[in-house]
Each structure stands twice: as C-alpha cells, then as structure tokens.
A and B are shown apart, each in its own frame.
Chain A
C-alpha cells in the first residue's frame, strides 16, 4: 500500500515533467481527458502508443514483457475512462492500440469501421466468443462481483443471490445506509455495460436497484476506488466490482474481513478487449502486442499476472457476447430510457426513515 502511494507520488512528479508535451499532445489528440500516462522508452524512437482503461500498475507488467521481445519500441501508455477512450478514437486520436473494458463501446468502434483488422496464429487460436471479425480481441475474462465487509454481514453467511442480498438490505438498512457503492452508469462505460446486461438478464436487478436507491448509495466511476473504500471501511458493500481488481487488492492488503461474492443467480463476465484503431500507424507493433496479450489470455494457470486469463472465472452464464447486439443500449433512445429508469431507482431524493 505504501509502495503504491510512493509510486503514485513519483508519478505525479513525472506527470508534471510531462506537462508541456502532454499539453501539446492533447491538442493533437483532441480534448481527451487523460487520467494517467507513462512513456517506457525503447532503444529507438519508434513508438507504440496505447490508450487503455486499465490502471498503470495493472498493465505495467505487460508492457515490460512486451519490451523484452521488442526492445526497440518505445511504449507510450495512456489511461483514460472507457467513454473518453471511445470519444478519442471516434475523433481520430492517434493511438496504435485501444484496450477497454467497455465491450459495447469497443464493438461500436469496430462496427463503425474505426478499427483495423489483424490476423495471426494467435487470433486464430481464440475461441469464437473471444473475437469479432478479426477486429476486436478479448484477452481477459473478468467477472463482476460484490465486495462486502464481514462486519456488515454480522456473522451471517454472505448472500448468494440477488434475492438474498435484497432481503439482507431490507432487513438491515442501518448497516448499509450511505455505505453502498456502485457504478455511476451515466459516467462509467463499464458500469453502463454491467447494468444493461444485468437488467436484460434478471428482473431482480431493478428491485435491487430500488432497494439500494432507498439507502442513498455512493456512485463511483471506477472499481478501484470502490474497493479502496470498502477496505478503508467507508463502504459496507460495493456492487458490480471487477473481480480482478478486488482480488488483487485483497491479496495486497491481506485482509480477511472482506468477502468477495459472486452472485449465483446471474453474474456478468466482462471481456477486456483490444482493437487497432483505423488511424493507427504502428500496426505491426500493435498486432505483436495483441498477439502477446492473447498468448497470456490463453494461458491455463492464472500465474502472477494482474489480469485473469480467458479460461479463468468462466461462469455458468458465459461471457457477455461480442456482437452488434451490444450496440442496442448505446442507441440514444434506449440509453435515455435506461438512464431515466436507473435514476428513478438509484438517485432518490426521498429517504425512507427506518
């Protein structure tokens, strides 16, 4: 934890140093809201620029491994939210590789002709559900989970289904009031994907949202912050958190009083995907990076990589299907209607007193 903080501090300094060139770059790339950025210099000026939703500390091992085989390449890694990433690629930002957890936005980019095709032995080895049209490739399968502090359970076994969770929340509102965290689907692409897929798959979603809305939930942009707040005790329950982040943080902290629960009635399985944007210039290097990611994605054992392989965590419900159907909820009419319903359920001004 302290190391991580230190690293963040160092990075802030680095970022200040990069300020000038970042400003210039931002002008070129359009107004992309950058959360984090680091350049890993190679032996030449040839640069593979990656935009990704994965945090730096999560993705760094992959970059370092890539540079072992391709030391001549400088890797420019930019972290942005999935919505920003989507907007940036749409506007023609000059990235060679875009990695995102928002499958629907990635698929829309590919569908709308903003991705280049890539084909290799590695992509051929992928199962059908993990790629679409040689344009979009999945290299991790990450389940959505519920993270709870054992304190909030008060000795009871963790809920296995949404119905049990609803009962738990309804029976013990005092434990969870102002202590529930979930995605703000209006801002988070992944949150929106999870919510729409869940609403499509189980009717318990709306009932659960209704209950959570009454308990004044906190809304987050990212899984990492939710997990952090559960660890710090600010939250009793974080709903729809990326299991990979939660597991990694738990391992770092060594905390035993926090439960990671996968719902048994339905669980989303997100595929983290990569595309080569149409505007990419270093397509060869981007292809090589994708091949490396797929090689790791197809590994059998999880190993000590931060992101799980495709075979890991395959739930009974299968991964979210890569296909044009993902674009349905991105349609303005549907999105507006869904957000209206979601706001009705979760952003309630009336707070019911116990």
Chain B
C-alpha cells in the first residue's frame, strides 16, 4: 500500500505528520506552561494573602489574637471569582475560619510557605499555609494560617490560553501542510525532469544520458546508462550476427543456384527440369530473404549514425527501377515513372534499400503484363515517392501491422516472401524522420505505398 503511494504523496504525508506532531507538542507545551503560569500566580496571591493574615497575629494577655485584613481576601477576589476559604490554627486549636478545611501536609514542618492541591466543599482547591510562632502564655505557640481558593479561575485562564494555543497550532499545522506540498513538489522536480528526459527519447536512442542530476539521482543515471550500453551492445552483436549469418548463407546459395542452372540446361527430362526450376526458385527466395535480413541489419546499424547525403529522388527511383528491371521483364511488368524535382538529405544506401523493397513487393504481387506506376512529388517541405501496382491490394487486415517484422498480408497465397520488406522500408523512413503510408489504390484494387520524407 505504502510502496504504491507516490513519493510526492509520501513526502507530503510524512512532512504533514511531522508538522501535526510538532503542532500537538507545541499546543501541549503552551497549554501546560499557561496552566503552570496561572497556577503559580494563584500560588503567589494565596501566599501573599496568608502572609498578610499571619502578620496580624499577636499575643494579647496570653491569648493569640489576630485581625483578618480586608486586603487578605480582597486580593484573592481581585484575581478571579473563586471561592475562598481560610483557617487559622494555633497549636491544636482552630482560632477562626473553616474548621474542616484541610491543611497542606507539610505546613507544620516544611518550608515557611507550603502549598497543596486538595478537595473541599465539593471542589478542587489550592491551599497555601504560612507558619508563624507567637509567644503566648506559657511558651511559644505555632500558628498556621491556611488560605485556600477554588481553581476555576486558573482553569478558565489556562483553558482560554490553551484554546488560543490550539488555534495557533492548527494555523501552524495548515501552513506546514501547504509548505510540505510545496517542498515535496520542489524536491521531486529534478526526478520528474530526469524521467521526462528519458521518456522523450526515441525508441532506439540508446545514447548515454548526459544531463546534470542531483547526487541522489547519479546512481540511477549511472545504472540506466550502463543498462543502455549493455542493451546497445547486445543489439549490435545480434545485428552483426544476423548480417554475418546472411552473408555466409548467400554465398553458398549463389553457388547452388549457378550449379542448378547448369544442370537445368543439361537436363534431359521435363520432370527433372521442373524439379530444378523449383530448386532455383527456392534458392532465389532464400537468397532474397538472406539479403533482406542483411538489409535489415544494415538499416538497424546505419540508422544509429545516419549519413547525410543530398539525394535526388528522381535518380534514386531510376536506379531502383533499373535494378529490378530484369525481374519485372520476366513477368512482362512495365515501370511507368513520373518524376518531378525532389531532393532530400539522408542515407543513399538505406533509401535505396527501402525503395528497392517497396518496388520488389510491387513486382512480386503484380500479375503478369501489368504496369507499376512510380511517381515522385514534392510539396510543402514533404517529398513523396508513390508506388502503385495493379495487384490484389493489401487485403482486409489492419494495414499498419504490415510493417511489423515477418508479418505478411492476408492475400499472399502462392507468393514467396519473408515479410521483412515493408519493415525495412518503414524503419528507414522513420530513421529519416519520414513515414511509410500504406493504402489500397482507389480503382483497380492495387496497393499504393507512399514513402514520405521531409524534403531538403
């Protein structure tokens, strides 16, 4: 649960939790201090009151006498509306006041002023006792003056301050939560920027990340760079392997083909000629597939570090058409080329390979004695090579998926193919910032493949 929470939320919740804890703590501390301050000021007044009474104690004809000063009780009335009790004890005898009023336990022994909290007349009270010794009659008589007051004034003052402190703590907490949200966002900003920098990259961009990152993110950046490095190496290795494999397969295939052709010419029976023709076709197909695998590997390799040649699309088309002319002638297929001026910047080898694959497809799927139209156009910064055939078209399936590797269209019965041709073309165009448009021609039902490139 916690693990799935976003770091921002976790940070905010943690900081807010800390703020809540601190707010509670500060509220409790202020309340406690306020209570103590109020209690202490009450203690002071109680002590003053008891002392004022004790000052008036005197001995008169052997009797302890005292006079309750007006100020002794009026000072207590001035600080709060609390109930007031008092008691004066001389020796064992209660001289005046409330007989049953409790007295602080250490009033007779302890400090000169003793305080205690107790219970009287159904309420909590605070007592203060002052001790004084008077010489009366036979000897010294200890006199203890106790003044007590209920605690509602102290409670009211401390309650009031506590409520104020609570309001302040709440305000403090709210401000702290706001700041936590801000702090969480601010501290996550480099991480987000880092993530965006990674996600903005192209699918095959495996260059190491160079951007500055806070020290906390450096290990992540290092790990990511190492991972990308290893990934790049392993991709290159497999491409190399494929290229090597294709190359190695093609050479013996050429030998087999040459031998088969010789055998075909010297074959006597129609049956064995038929069989040899099948062998030649199969070898051709294997050779083409190996060539395409090689092309594909080349595309993957060269796309990483694209050459920037100025290329005239008209010339490119002418070369590609010339290269396929022998195959086309075998099926009596005519190339009809319509060129206009169009230039692009890119890798001539790759573009040739892309166009070759598209034309090869067109020838392969066209019935005998048809025409393949090739048109070159350029407008609004976009150069196009459109190849339209009169074949069966691209079929019913989803057209986009035809550029996936080893994917073949839905109506390719009887035609050999690897399914790599359009993948190569699409990869090349993507590497050049262009795209491959596939659709069925409006009339006649043939396929219409457009190579779209940004023009120079």
Contacts and interface: CB of A to CB of B under 8 A. Distances in A.
Interface of A: 110-113, 132-133, 200, 321, 323-325, 327-328, 331-334, 337
Interface stretch (B73-81, B243-251, B340-348): B73-81
25 contacts: A111-B84, A112-B98, A113-B83, A132-B81, A133-B81, A133-B152, A321-B74, A321-B77, A323-B77, A324-B74, A324-B77, A324-B83, A325-B70, A325-B74, A327-B73, A328-B68, A328-B70, A328-B72, A328-B74, A331-B96, A333-B65, A333-B67, A333-B96, A334-B68, A337-B67
Nearest to B81: A133
Contact of A325 (B66, B73, B81): B73
Contacts of A327: 73, 84
A113 B68 contact: no
A328 B81 contact: no
B360 to A, nearest CB: 101
B97 interface: yes
A200 B70 CA distance: 9
B77 A334 contact: no
Nearest to A131: B81
Given A111-B83, A132-B81, A333 B73 contact: no
Nearest to B152: A133
Contacts of A112: 83, 98, 121
A333 B87 CA distance: 12
B77 A325 contact: yes
B122 interface: yes
B190 interface: no
A324 B70 contact: no
Contacts of B121: 112-113
A110 B123 CA distance: 13
Contacts of B91: none
Given A112-B83, A133-B81, 16 more contacts: A112-B121, A132-B81, A133-B152, A321-B74, A323-B73, A323-B74, A323-B78, A323-B81, A325-B71, A325-B74, A331-B68, A332-B96, A333-B95, A334-B67, A334-B68, A337-B67
Contacts of B85: 111
B69 interface: yes
Nearest to A110: B83
Contacts of B82: 133
Contacts of A331: 68, 96-97
Contacts, number: 57
Nearest to B71: A325
A333 B74 contact: no
The 3 closest A-B pairs by CB, nearest first: A323-B77, A325-B74, A324-B84
A189 B77 CA distance: 21
Interface in B100-144: 121-123
Given A111-B84, A113-B83, A328 B96 contact: no
Contacts of B97: 331
Nearest to A278: B122
Most chain A CB inside 10 Å of its own CB: which residue of B78, B83, B95, B121? B83
Contacts of B78: 323
Interface in B323-350: none
Given A321-B77, A331-B97, A333-B65, A133 B70 contact: no
B122 A113 contact: yes
A134 B66 CA distance: 32
Contacts of B122: 113
A116 to B, nearest CB: 12
A104 to B, nearest CB: 11
A325 B74 CA distance: 4
Nearest to B122: A113
A321 B81 CA distance: 12
A324 B74 CA distance: 6
Contacts of B68: 328, 331, 333-334
Contacts of B81: 132-133, 323
Interface in B34-74: 65-74
Contacts of A337: 67
Contacts of B83: 110-113, 133, 324
Contacts of A333: 65-68, 95-96
A106 B200 CA distance: 87
A137 to B, nearest CB: 13
Most chain B CB inside 10 Å of its own CB: which residue of A112, A333, A337? A333
A133 B123 CA distance: 14
A337 B74 CA distance: 19
Contacts of B70: 200, 325, 328
Contacts of A325: 70-71, 73-74, 76-77
A328 B77 CA distance: 12
A339 B83 CA distance: 26
A235 to B, nearest CB: 32
Contacts of B96: 331-333
B221 to A, nearest CB: 70
Contacts of B95: 333
Nearest to B49: A324
Contacts of A133: 81-83, 152
Contacts of A111: 83-85
Contacts of B84: 111, 324, 327
A110 B121 CA distance: 12
Contacts of B123: 113
Nearest to A327: B73
Contacts of A332: 96
Nearest to B153: A133
